[in-house]
Amino acid sequence: MGAADVREIKGRIENIEDIRQITKAMNAIAMTKVTRMKRRLAAARPYGEEIERLVAVVLAQPRRSTVTHPLVSGNESGGTGVLVLNADRGLCGRFKGDLNRRAEELLLEEDGAGRVLAGGEKARAYFARRPFETLRTYAHLYEHPTMEIAGRIADEVMELFLSEELGRVVLVYMRFVNDLSQKLVTETLLPVPVEAGGEEAILEPDVDGMLASVLPHYVTERVFFALLHTKTSEDAIRRQAMSSATDNADELLRTLTRSYHKARQQSITREISDIMGGAEALRTA
């Protein structure tokens, strides 16, 4: 190896060191975000559990067979909307691909009756290139999820359902289990699933009034909960990706540093040999 090879290796080392600094910083940022989002998930969980319990109680009443609400009973439309909650940015490993592929599988099962509600820029861009109608897009909206943002999405989804533009809405998101585990989830959002097991109680006002009051809040809460889980999972997976990228950079730096020292030693040895050869030629001249 010559001096040019030594300079090339040194240049590669400098470039990788720059990249490593970026991935290490992004890892630290993602770790901070994961910690913050985990606190928000923990804070939101009691409210979500309480409203789910309340809905279960209302739907378990003895008069339930005579109670109807369009968010529960559904409509005659055959169209299915797939609300997929994805990321706005990349560098989050398998996250965006897994969500988009699952949403596309569900749409293909509908034989042309499936339509997209695309959450996140990565979903919007992906389905813009696919043969499915996109009813709504929510790109760059929920980087910092709030109940108000969830309410906006839920209101539009409920409007599409109540107007019978959609007969069913399926929610696709990534559920946060822990820092190293995230689960791809598919749930029916509308019509609201009726599950057995709720306790019976005497309710005032009447059950119809309770349903009309509680169900929109319940749908909003489910969207909010899914947003929190999705963003926490996104940050956790991005942290994993940046941590792996930093580790790979460290390994590559070690390999290149060894190659650099070897090439530099060979270059020095060659220069010494040239000098000694020149000196020998002068001595014998």
Q: What is the pLDDT of residue 260?
A: 74
Q: How many residues does the chain have?
A: 285
Contacting residues for 256 by C-beta, under 8 A, at least 6 apart: 9, 12, 13, 16
Domain boundary among 223, 240, 257: 240
Q: Which domain holds residue 21?
A: 3-26+244-284
User: Of 181, 263, 268, 226, which Cα lies nearest the Cα of 7?
Assistant: 263
Q: What is the pLDDT of residue 59?
A: 74
Tell me how many domains the chain contains.
2
Q: In this structure, are 180 and 104 located in the same domain?
A: yes
Q: In this structure, are 132 and 92 located in the same domain?
A: yes
Q: In this structure, are 90 and 115 located in the same domain?
A: yes
CA distance 140 to 143: 6
What CATH number is given to the structural domain containing 19?
1.10.287
Q: What is the pLDDT of residue 271?
A: 67
CA distance 151 to 155: 6
Q: In this structure, are 75 and 150 located in the same domain?
A: yes
Structure tokens at 169: 């809405």
Q: In this structure, are 16 and 125 located in the same domain?
A: no
Q: In this structure, are 260 and 231 located in the same domain?
A: no
Q: Which own/partner contact pairs does 22-25 have at CB distance under 8 Å and 24+ positions apart?
A: 23/242, 23/245, 23/246, 23/249, 24/242, 24/246
Q: In this structure, are 134 and 258 located in the same domain?
A: no
Q: What is the pLDDT of residue 170?
A: 97
Q: In this structure, are 168 and 190 located in the same domain?
A: yes
CA distance 149 to 126: 22
Q: In this structure, are 191 and 258 located in the same domain?
A: no
Q: In this structure, are 113 and 58 located in the same domain?
A: yes
Mean pLDDT of each 10-residue bin along the chain, 285 residues long:
72 88 91 93 91 81 62 84 95 91 95 93 96 96 96 97 94 95 96 67 64 90 97 94 89 84 72 66 65
Q: In this structure, are 88 and 174 located in the same domain?
A: yes
Burial 66-91 (b: 16+ CB within 10 A, else e): ebebbbbeebebebbbbbbbbbbeee
Q: In this structure, are 231 and 268 located in the same domain?
A: no
What CATH number is given to the structural domain containing 148?
3.40.1380.10
